[in-house]
Structures are given as C-alpha cells and as structure tokens.
Structure 1
Amino acid sequence: MTVYAAGAVLWREEGDGLKVALIHRARYDDWSWPKGKVDPGEVLPQTAVREIREETGLRVKLGIRLDIVKYTLPSGAPKEVHYWAARVTDKSLRKSTFKPSEEVASVEWRTPAQARELLTYDFDRDILQRVEDLYTLGKLKTKPVVIQRHAQAMPRSEWKNGKNIDDGARPLTPLGAKQAIALIPLLKAFGVKRVYSSPWTRCANTVKPFAKNQKLPIIERHQVSELGNKKGPRRTANVVDDIVKSGLPSVLCSHRPALPTILDTLSKYGNANQEILLHEGRALEPGEMMVVHLTAKKADTVRSIVAIETYAPLVTIE
C-alpha cells in the first residue's frame, strides 16, 4: 500500500534574493524539505500545512504544487511525497515557535546555491530547480481563486415534490453539511481571505462554516446563482473578473450550470493547456473545488494562471 506524505519548499525574499528553508534531521543526518505522512481524515494540502507547522514552527499558506516525488521505502512499500511552494512572510517568521527536537534538529535559511550543496537527495535538488525557475519567471508568488461547487444538496424532485417551491431555498443534505465542515482546513491551507457566494441556500451554507471559522463575511452575488447566470452570463463573468483583479485569495461558491461561464472567464488568464484543465472543472462534483493559482497582483499588469489543482473534502459516510 502506498504511503502518502506532503510538505513544502518554504521561501522568502531577503533583499533582492531568494532564500529557502531546509531542515536538518539528526536521526538520519540529512538535509531536506519539511514534510510528513498523511494523518487519517486529512487531504494532502492539509497535511502539508500541519507538517510544516510541526517541523518548523511556521504557519504558512500554500502556493502552487511543485512536484510529486516517488520512491520505495526500505520495507518495500511505495511512497509518494507531494510538495508545494509556501511563501513565509516576515510576520510568520517572527511568530515561529520552532524548538529543536529529535525529529528536526534545525531549520536553516539558505540561498539556492547554498541549499543545493546542503541537500542530501537528488530529487530535492530537482524540486529546488523548479522553485528557482518559477522565481526567475516571476511566477513563484501567487494568490488563489478557488472555484467551489456547492456541497451535496437535497435532490430537486425531493425538495419540490410537485409543489411550486423556491429552488433557491433547497438545503444541503446531512452529507453536504459534513462536506461544508470538511472544507474548512482545505480553504485555510490555501489562505483564502475573501468569501463570495451565490445567495442561494445550498451555496451560502457550503462556505458558511469556513467563513464563521475565519470570521469572514460572505459576499453574496446574485449574478453567480443559477438564475443570475442564466439571465446574464456577462454579469456573471464580470464578478469573476472583479475577483481576479482584486488580487486577494478568494473562494467563489456557485452552481454546476454557472460553472461554464465562470471557468470560461478564467480561461482568458491562462494558456491553451490551462484552458483544457479549466474545461474539466465543469464536471466538478458537489463539494469539490478547483484551486486556480494566479500571479500576485502588480500595478498595471494582468494576472496570469500559473497552476490549477482540484480537491474534494474528505468525509466519512456513516
């Protein structure tokens, strides 16, 4: 059975240069990136953030996923380690709670050249090269726009039951409510700071637990409801453009019928390959999210898509 783990290359700018953080594990006498195994009930981004906190004392938000390293353990079991880039702010660095332990003896910030000499494993050097390339291209610092399909809702036929009942009030099922709660650590992992939603009940209640957890208001936009998109897809697109142009890490919760408009609008910020990936987002299942990483906002520049990831909340069906 494959052993899954997750971690990140922590990076920051010091002066005009790039610095990355390595950990020294005394037990193995090696230098590597912070990482660790998935705990039961976790999704990989959640694991990465938790492990970084435990090993380095730093609270971080994930940027783009860098690579997946695969190798075989001494036991013969295959292992996969998923790595993200994670920028460390000055504030986070000041609040670090790192203390040397048996697992991690030290955390050291080094230039890429110094890190390349210190790193024990070749595959870690490959990941470092990816980070350097992104930094040179100005694509290492990103901010996400998360497109969230609402969690599982009561079927239309069951809700209306032959009656003329407002579909906008259709609620989440018990499973959908669990999905909404399970989204909290996923959205936190990517540092979402602004919450947009269709005002319809099933969308608003999907992001409500996260918004409450983070003490964020839910910004309702009727233009991204099913009816709003049907009546005026151009207005739906305008909402998406405004979110992208804001440059803030955001989540937008909407409905399957509105996804084509939302994703087509995002596609103009990407290339042909990314357009294909965005097109696949039309098939998002209830509760699933697509994380679209765009270059950070700069004056008089148009943001562009760097990477796209898709995740589903992990829930237990009793």
Structure 2
Amino acid sequence: MVDGELMVLVVHRTTHRDVSLPKGKVDPGETLPVTAVREVAEETGLAVHLGVPLGVTNYTMPNGREKVVHYWAAEVTDTQVKASRFKPNAEIAGLEWLPVDKAIGALTYDRDGEIVARLRMLAEQGVTRTFAIIALRHAKAVPAWEFSGPDADRPLTERGRGEAKRIVPTLSTYAPKRLVSSTARRCRQTIAPVAKALSLEVRLTDAIAQDAYEDGSSDVRGEIEKRLRKKRTAVLCSHGPVLPEIVREIALATGTERAATVSRSGDLPVGGFSVVHLSADQPGAGIITIESHSPQD
C-alpha cells in the first residue's frame, strides 16, 4: 500500500520486450511455493513470503509446449523494497510499481491481468492482509503393531525422518512465527527440523494430541481460538484423526460456510499439510482459501 492505495510490482522483461508478473521455471526437486519465492528474489531482489494463492494460468509457448504458472500474493514493506539490490540485467530491464488498474492495463498479457484482477477483488473485500494456520500431519511413523510401548512414544521411521526434512523449504515460504505440536513423539520429531531451520521454539500441547482427542480431553477449539486471536502464521503439527477437526474449528470460528466440506482439507497424507489463509483485518470474512501440499510435491 502507498497512501492507502494497493500497488502491484510488474517487471519489464529484456528479451521478451514485454511487461509481466514475476515468474519462472521450477528447478529439479523444488515445490511450487519454493519456486515462487526463489524466482521473485532472482527477478526483483525482494525476499518475500507467500500469502494467498491467486490462481493458475496456462498457455502454449511458441515452441508448442504447454506452460502452467501458479501465482501467490506477497506483501512487502518499504524496508524490503529499499533492501533490494536489483539492477537491470539481460533478463529484467526494470521494475515498476503501479496501482492495480494501471498494472492491469500495462501488462502485455490478459492472463496476467486476470491474476491482478483477483488481487483487486480481495482488496475490495478488505482481505489482502492475511495470515495462515498450517495444519501439518506428522510424517511416517513406526506402525502401532510393530511398537510395544505407549502409542504416544512411537517414533518416525527412516522414511518419516526424510519427509520431515523435505517439508521444511515449502513450510518456510509461508514464514510461520509460531510452532505448536502434539506431545506425541512422532509429531515432535516431524516439527523439529522446521524449528531448527527457522530458529523457533515449539510449544507442546495435549490440546491437539490424538490420545487426548480419543479420550475426550483435547481442546482443539481452544487452540484455534488462540491462534485466531494472535493473527500470526502458525504451524499446528497433529494427527490424522485430529486434523479434520482442526480445519473444521477454523471454519466454524471464522463463519465459513460448509464447514464439513472444508474439514476434508484435513484429510492429509503423512507429512502433508494444508495452509488455511485468513484475513488479518476481517475476522468474520471466513477462510479465504486453502492449499494443500505433501512431501512428495
């Protein structure tokens, strides 16, 4: 925002001689969110974290290949803009911040304009400033039938430890500020690499633990209410049976319709997670969107 007006960054591409939104190609082993953050940094010099998804475009390139591009919103501060070390180069001739309507008119391709129009729609609804609650399922654990101790003590398998490491780059693109985990060992081990990478502490709680959920002593609603009050992006690492309840409680607390349908976003594979995007300014606006990822993405 500049003087209350939403501004959009467009890039003037050197070789293509067009005006576009920042974008690029997926490197081997990358997930789409990681690609988005890396490409924005490479093309503009801006270090961003991802907000709400803005949609997907697809088109045929001159060589006949189909190209699919995924877009996210990302908010930057004056400090971040000043910290950019961008210099015109062989790929990007220059950067330009434009009001939304002018950006739509300046973009060479209608498909890019449609993405900006979606951002304008969010602005009209007053929900461009967002945070997320990320519902994370623990990675692959030793099966209960192979483990003789208490269920809460089951550790991750070797595969699970690998999954826990692989999800770190993608989770990091959303810049979580708070990490919350079930007290179960498999959850603690899953979130540990994230905590290390982001230099964050993990708050352990039985409120979202499977044992407590099954005996009726959990407090999923209380945990969600706390996260909504804080309005800071947080990761909640929990269990298969509990995750649909976590998403359902987010929906109920924000007035989102069809809460039962939304809760299906909690049906995740081991090591998978759903990013539930919420408005920081309009508590009753409901869930803006949900995106889901797996360690195999």
Q: Give the TM-score category using the shorter length.
A: over 0.9
Unaligned runs of 5+ in 1: 1-12
Contact 1:296 1:303 in 2 (8 A): no
Displacement of 1:188 in angstroms is 1.0
Partner of 2:206: 222
Displacement of 1:231 in angstroms is 2.9
Output the TM-score relative to the length of structure 2.
0.95
Please state if 1:66 is matched with 2:54: yes
Q: 1:151, 1:214 → 2: CA distance?
A: 19
Identity within the alignment, %: 38
Displacement of 1:92 in angstroms is 1.6
Please state if 1:205 is matched with 2:193: no
Compared CA separation, residues 122 and 303, structure 1 to 2 (3 A): closer
Structure 1 segment 171-186 matched on structure 2, within 5 A? 171-186=155-170
Structure 1 segment 1-150 matched on structure 2, within 5 A? 13-150=1-138
CA-to-aligned-CA distance 1:155-197 (integer Å, 9 cap, x gap): 111122xxxx121111111111111111111111111111000
Amino acid in the other structure paired with 1:314: Q
Please state if 1:236 is matched with 2:224: no
Q: 2:272, 2:285 → 1: CA distance?
A: 24
Partner of 2:236: 252
Contact 2:133 2:276 in 1 (8 A): yes
Displacement of 1:275 in angstroms is 4.6
Partner of 2:269: 285
Partner of 1:3: none
Unaligned runs of 5+ in 2: none
Amino acid in the other structure paired with 1:307: T
Equivalenced residue count is 296
CA-to-aligned-CA distance 1:73-92 (integer Å, 9 cap, x gap): 12211110001111112222
Q: CA RMSD in A?
A: 1.6
- Per the alignment, in what secondary structure is the counterpart of residue 270 of structure 2? coil
Compared CA separation, residues 208 and 271, structure 1 to 2 (3 A): same
Amino acid in the other structure paired with 1:157: W
Contact 1:55 1:104 in 2 (8 A): yes
Q: 1:201, 1:251 → 2: CA distance?
A: 16
Displacement of 1:115 in angstroms is 1.3
Output the TM-score relative to the length of structure 1.
0.89
CA-to-aligned-CA distance 1:207-253 (integer Å, 9 cap, x gap): 11011111100011111111122233662221122112210100000
Contact 1:63 1:86 in 2 (8 A): yes
Contact 1:291 1:310 in 2 (8 A): yes
- Per the alignment, in what secondary structure is the counterpart of residue 37 of structure 1? coil
